[in-house]
């Protein structure tokens, strides 16, 4: 198995989401928000549709784990779920990657640890 494949690996039942890992499985709020703002609605929509389907199983799967002791693959899945929550309003509320009529994103520094 090549290194990239390992890096993008998700738990057994979620293989079809692995194509989103490199773009969307991001560890920090800052990265997830930057990815959201730099993506097209088309790309966001594709990710949203795929995730929306699977979110109930994603949370069911992760439910058995402790947040502080997540294995790598579960951790990647959790970060995908976080990205889903990051982009959901782009699709459901704003119909735009970023928040319209808000202060410019660059003016707000995200210091979240």
Partner 1 sequence: MSDAFAPSAKPWQVSIEPNISSGYFEAERSRLFKHVWFQLGRVEVIPNPGDYFVRQIDVLGASVIVSRGRDGVLRAFHNICRHRGNRVVKQAAGSAKAFSCGFHGWTYNSEGALVNIPLEQEFRGCDKADLSLIPLAIEVWEGFIFVHLNIEPEESLRDYLQPVAGLLDGFPFAEMELSGWWSARLASNWKTFQDAFIEAYHVLAVHRRSIPDFRSDPIVPTAQSLGRHCKLTYYQNLHHEPKPAEAMAFELSSLAFLNAGDANELKTRRWASLNFERRDNWVFDEFVIFPNFHLFLGDGWMLCHEFWPVDVDHTDWHVKYYQQRTTSPTVRIAQEYSKVAMRDAIREDLSTIESTHAAQRSGAMPFMTLSPSLDALIIHHHGVVAEYVGARLTGIEP
Phi-psi region of 65 (alpha: psi -120 to 50; beta: other; left: phi over 0): beta
Spatial contact of 74 and 25, defined as CB atoms under 8 Å apart: no
CB 62 within 8 Å of CB 77:
yes
Taking the C-alpha atoms of residue 5 and residue 22, their distance in angstroms, rounded to an integer, is 10
Find the shortest distance in angstroms from Cβ 8 to partner 1: 19
**Binding of partner 1 by 102 (CB under 8 A):** yes
Contact flag: residue 12 with partner 1 (CB under 8 A): no
Binding to partner 1 in span 16-55, by CB under 8 A: 29, 33, 52, 55
Residues at the site binding partner 1, with contacts judged by CB under 8 A: 29, 33, 52, 55-56, 58-59, 62-63, 65-68, 70, 74, 78, 81-82, 84-86, 88-89, 92-94, 99-103, 105, 107-113
């Amino acid at each position: 198995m090549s290194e990239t494949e390992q890096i993008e690996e998700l738990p057994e039942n979620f293989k079809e989401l692995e194509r989103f890992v490199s773009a969307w499985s991001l560890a920090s709020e800052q990265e997830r928000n930057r990815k959201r703002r730099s993506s097209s609605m088309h790309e966001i929509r594709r990710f949203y549709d795929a995730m929306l389907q699977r979110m109930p199983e994603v949370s069911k799967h992760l439910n058995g784990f402790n947040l502080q002791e997540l294995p790598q693959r579960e951790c990647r899945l959790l970060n995908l779920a976080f990205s889903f929550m990051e982009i959901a309003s782009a699709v459901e509320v704003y119909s735009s990657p970023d928040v319209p009529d808000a202060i410019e994103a660059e003016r707000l520094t995200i210091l979240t640890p």
